[in-house]
Chain A
Amino acid sequence: EIVLTQSPGTLSLSPGERATLSCRASQSVSRNFLAWYHHKPGQAPRLLIYDASNRATGIPDRFSGSGSGTDFTLTISRLEPEDFAVYYCQQYGNSPFTFGQGTRLEIK
């Protein structure tokens, strides 16, 4: 099973600032099949990025994904109020599909 470790656990920033979130895999993610999701309590997770660097339909270009192999990054260039939430990475290259433990992005 591929274990995904996200860092930091919590990130405190202000609107307008840049956020950088990390996701590290215990072994190489097949075909860079890695996604990022945004999740607020009481809501369904929302797909942001797939295949490591492709933005999902309707996702603003302030969100970008990068990385390959075992190290991946989600960058939010200028934080908007609605961006404060928990972010999860997920690998879907190997079964069982696994998720990171999440990074909580909170308003400073």
Chain B
Amino acid sequence: QVHLLQSGAEVKKPGASVKLSCKASGYKFTSYSIHWVRQAPGQRLEWMGWLGAGDAYTKYSQKFQGRVTITRDTSASTVYMELSSLTSEDTAIYYCARVASAYGDLSHFDYWGQGTLVTVAS
């Protein structure tokens, strides 16, 4: 069955970077895009960007452009999301999510990781 396993909680200082992982299993890894979504305390879910199927095309929300990088290691069936220049406003739970349609860019998310808490504090 499809499973997305995310890395553990992180505590970072302002100005630092964090790199989270999302290990996929139970399906053909390169056929489905993976998105990253976060939820800050008391806030709505916020889409950050995605890494496409096939050639791993990336697209980022304008809000995070220049600060976020999504990559993958096909041999490890793992997608990474790195966020730089952290501030306290980046304190949030970060989720990876798989699209439902193979090779689909515009698709809902059928499977989600369990989430990773990132805390940014001095």
Interface residues of A (CB under 8 A from B): 30-31, 33, 35, 37, 43-47, 50-51, 56-57, 88, 90, 92-93, 95-102
Contact = CB atoms under 8 A, between A and B. Distances in A.
A99 B100 contact: no
Given A44-B113, A95-B59, A97-B35, A50 B44 contact: no
Interface of B: 35, 37, 44-47, 59, 61-63, 95, 97, 100, 106-110, 112-115
Contacts of B115: 44
Contacts of B61: 95-96
Contacts of A44: 95, 112-115
Contacts of A50: 100, 108
A31 B63 CA distance: 25
Contacts of A95: 59, 61
A33 B46 contact: no
B44 A45 contact: no
Nearest to A96: B61
A84 to B, nearest CB: 19
A100 B44 contact: yes
Nearest to A4: B44
Given A88-B44, A99-B45, A93 B110 contact: no
Contacts of B45: 45, 88, 90, 99, 102
A56 B106 CA distance: 16
A35 B63 CA distance: 22
B95 to A, nearest CB: 7
Contacts of B110: 47, 56-57
Instruction: Select the residue from B47, B97, B115 with max chain A CB neighbours within 10 A.
Output: B47
Contacts of A46: 112
Nearest to A56: B110
